[in-house]
């Protein structure tokens, strides 16, 4: 399905030589029964070539009760004589996706406050990317916009056709080919638009995963691997990108929770079709959540006699699990039940096989804590009017330990520095991400994390997020590089493994699960010595 190429070829089509020519059609999806389909129509609506205008329409054909053709959406006019005739079409699709974005609970960026997208950044994206990558991006944007039309404003059969024939192949292609154009798009439009776009996409993928778990449609079960299968970077629709800017290496990733690999649970393999209605509602609410990870590594480059010193430290690691599709005041069961980050493992270092690195120095030693034991002795005496005095003595000892919810470590794998942060239960001391229930109810680790978003000693923010800043995890690491690399721009690896877990927060129950996702990308390391005259 290459919609963009078909659109770009329209002005040169021999069928459009006459102003009153019939509309051209592109079949987006169809069933085995050819009478039912979703198609895109392009209609030329003016006379001379210098004033030629085209309008696009998405239509349904043959779906009950609209057996005849039914239009779902009409585009704005695109002037074929302009330098970028289809820029208004892409702008319209993106703007409508943002305006229809599902609200994340406690969001500080409501849709009404988002400004309209400016055409210049979008035009630059269209001009600076290859036709193949731009085509993949446009197909994703167009398919995302169609979700609300086919699923919410059309018969159920049209929604099923959308998931099978439009969404599934688009996501499979997009997750492996969109890294470059998505990075450019997000950097140019800003983080607020990025969140709206990715929360829309996350909401759509969550619905897709729910359909798969319920077993609705054999085709969907073959297009998305089971959460118990080994993770593959190119199979599951998770999106990430990395960039270098102003002395920071930045890694950002978005993963709907149900696309993450299920590593530990005390539930059944089929998550949603549960016999217990209350449990099913809980699983349905948990399915509408998305991990949003933001990693910032601050780096610096020093030039010395005989070598180059590259230093890096954690500036910010921010992990947030967004609830997709629910407003803060919605009367929804289990709205306070959500996954929480339980471990993050970030690594950064030279590309694999690099020979220009002489050594890696870590900045944090493995902790070997000492515990203080205080002994208190109490002597009591009782002197009575007797020939024998009575003296009683007792001794008490006390031991005070200070525990922390998060343990931070550094490690090395080859020439890559690893920053590891692990959540522990304050009550039991167990590592939450690797904990597996052993008892019949699993209550041994639930009690320590109930009410985890309240209280002074909570391990999360009030919204359930985790922020690890440089003031707490600020020890830097360093690499020594060959002096011969001066003046070059190296490719540096940055990646991360992220775990989220769920334990009951306010509701009664013992359901537990931990899920996992991994991202890895490349960033630039400029080794250019700016000499001051």
Mind listing the pLDDT tens digit for each residue in 17-36?
Answer: 565 566 788 988 887 666 78
**Does the pLDDT of residue 111 top 70, yes or no?**
no
Tokens of 81: 């004589």
pTM: 0.86
Residue predicted with more confidence, 380 or 525: 525
Query: What does residue 182 show for φ and ψ, rounded to 5 degrees?
Result: -65, -40
pLDDT confidence of 366, banded at 50, 70, 90?
Answer: confident
Is 392 in contact with 380 (CB distance < 8 Å)? yes
Report the C-alpha gap between 268 and 429 in whole angstroms. Answer: 27
- Residue 116 in this model has a pLDDT that exceeds 90: no
Residue 180: both structure tokens together: 């470059």
User: What does the pLDDT look like over 463-502, one tens digit per residue?
Assistant: 888 999 988 887 899 999 999 999 999 999 999 999 999 9
Q: How far is the C-alpha of 349 from the C-alpha of 494, rounded, in Å?
A: 7
Query: When comparing pLDDT for 518 and 221, which is higher?
Result: 518
pLDDT tens digits, one per residue of 165-207 = 888 888 877 766 777 888 899 999 999 899 999 999 999 999 9
Per-residue pLDDT tens over the stretch 236-279: 677 899 999 999 999 999 999 999 999 988 866 545 555 567 77
Q: Decide if pLDDT at 363 tops 80.
A: yes
The pLDDT assigned to 220 comes to: 45
Between residues 20 and 53, which one has the greater pLDDT?
A: 53
Write the CB contacts of 233 (distance below 8 Å, at least 6 apart in sequence).
176, 518, 520
Q: What is the mean pLDDT of residues 401-411?
A: 78
Q: Report the helix count and the strand count for the chain, using DSSP H and E.
A: 10, 20
Two structure tokens written together for 46: 């003016």
Say if residues 347 and 494 touch (Cβ distance below 8 Å). yes
Query: How much is the pLDDT for 221?
Result: 43
Residue 517 neighbours by CB distance under 10 Å? 23
Q: Residue 463's pLDDT is what?
A: 84
Q: DSSP class of residue 335?
A: T
What pLDDT digit, counting tens, does each position of 433-462 carry? 888 766 544 455 556 677 788 877 788 888
Q: What is the mean pLDDT of the chain?
A: 81
Mean pLDDT for the stretch of residues 499-520? 89
- pLDDT for 174 equals 77
Q: What tokens were used for 23?
A: 């509309």
Sign of CA dihedral 102, 103, 108, 114: positive
Predicted confidence at residue 243, as pLDDT, reads 93
For 69-118, give the DSSP string: -EEEEEPPPEETTSSSTTHHHHHHHHHHHHHTPPPBTT-SS-GGGPPPPP
46-55, 308-317, 375-384, range with the lowest pLDDT = 375-384
DSSP helix/strand/coil, 454: coil
What is the predicted pLDDT for the residue at 79?
87
Q: Where are the domains of the chain?
A: 3-88, 239-366+400-533
Band (105; pLDDT cuts 50, 70, 90) = low
Q: Does the pLDDT value for residue 232 go beyond 70?
A: no
The answer to whether 293 touches 253, Cβ cutoff 8 Å, is yes
- How does residue 216 score in pLDDT terms, banded at 50, 70 and 90? low
Residue 95: which pLDDT band, with cuts at 50, 70 and 90?
Answer: very high
């Amino acid at each position: 399905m290459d919609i963009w190429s078909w659109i770009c070829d329209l002005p040169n089509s021999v069928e459009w030589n006459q102003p009153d020519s019939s509309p051209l059609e592109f079949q987006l999806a169809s069933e085995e029964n050819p009478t039912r389909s979703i198609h895109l129509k392009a209609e030329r609506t003016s006379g001379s070539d210098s004033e030629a205008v085209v309008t696009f329409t998405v239509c349904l054909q043959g779906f009950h009760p609209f057996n005849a053709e039914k239009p779902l959406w009409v585009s704005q006019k695109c002037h074929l004589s302009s330098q970028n005739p289809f820029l208004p079409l892409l702008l319209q699709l993106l703007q409508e996706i943002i305006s229809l974005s599902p609200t994340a609970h406690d969001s500080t960026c409501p849709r009404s406050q988002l400004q309209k997208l400016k055409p210049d950044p979008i035009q630059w994206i269209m001009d600076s990317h290859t036709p193949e990558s731009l085509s993949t991006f446009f197909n994703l944007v167009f398919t995302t916009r169609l979700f609300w039309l086919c699923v919410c404003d059309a018969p159920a059969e049209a929604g099923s056709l959308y998931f099978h024939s439009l969404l599934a192949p688009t996501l499979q292609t997009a997750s492996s080919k969109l890294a470059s154009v998505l990075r450019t798009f997000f950097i140019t439009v800003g983080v607020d638009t990025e969140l709206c776009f990715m929360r829309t996409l996350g909401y759509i993928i969550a619905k897709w995963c729910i359909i798969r778990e319920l077993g609705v449609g054999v085709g969907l079960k073959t297009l998305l691997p089971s959460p118990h299968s080994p993770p593959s970077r190119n199979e599951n629709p998770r999106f990430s990108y990395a960039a270098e800017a102003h002395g920071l290496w930045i890694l950002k990733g978005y993963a709907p929770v149900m696309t993450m690999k299920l590593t530990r649970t005390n539930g059944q393999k089929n998550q949603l079709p549960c016999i217990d209605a209350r449990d099913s509602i809980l699983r349905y609410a948990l399915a509408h959540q998305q991990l949003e990870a933001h990693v910032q590594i601050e780096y610096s480059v020093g030039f010395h006699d005989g070598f180059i010193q590259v230093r890096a430290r954690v500036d910010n690691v921010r992990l947030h699990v967004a609830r997709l599709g629910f407003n803060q005041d919605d009367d929804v069961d289990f709205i306070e039940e959500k996954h929480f980050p339980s471990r993050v493992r970030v690594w950064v270092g030279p590309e694999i096989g690099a020979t220009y690195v002489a050594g890696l120095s870590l900045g944090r030693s493995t902790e070997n804590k000492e515990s203080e034991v205080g002994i208190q002795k109490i002597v009591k005496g009782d002197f009575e009017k007797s020939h024998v005095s009575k003296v009683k003595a007792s001794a008490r000892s006390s031991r005070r330990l200070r525990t922390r919810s998060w343990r931070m470590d550094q490690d090395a794998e080859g020439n890559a520095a690893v920053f590891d942060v692990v959540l522990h239960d304050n009550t039991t001391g167990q590592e939450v991400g690797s904990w597996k229930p052993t008892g019949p109810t699993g209550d041994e680790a639930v009690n320590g994390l109930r009410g985890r978003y309240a209280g002074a000693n909570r391990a999360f923010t009030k919204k359930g997020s985790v922020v690890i800043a440089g003031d707490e995890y600020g020890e830097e690491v360093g690499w020594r590089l060959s002096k011969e690399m001066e003046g070059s721009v190296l490719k540096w690896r940055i990646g991360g493994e992220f775990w989220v877990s769920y334990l009951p927060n306010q509701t009664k129950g013992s359901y537990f699960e931990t899920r996992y996702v991994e991202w890895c990308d490349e960033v630039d390391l400029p080794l250019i010595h700016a000499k001051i005259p």
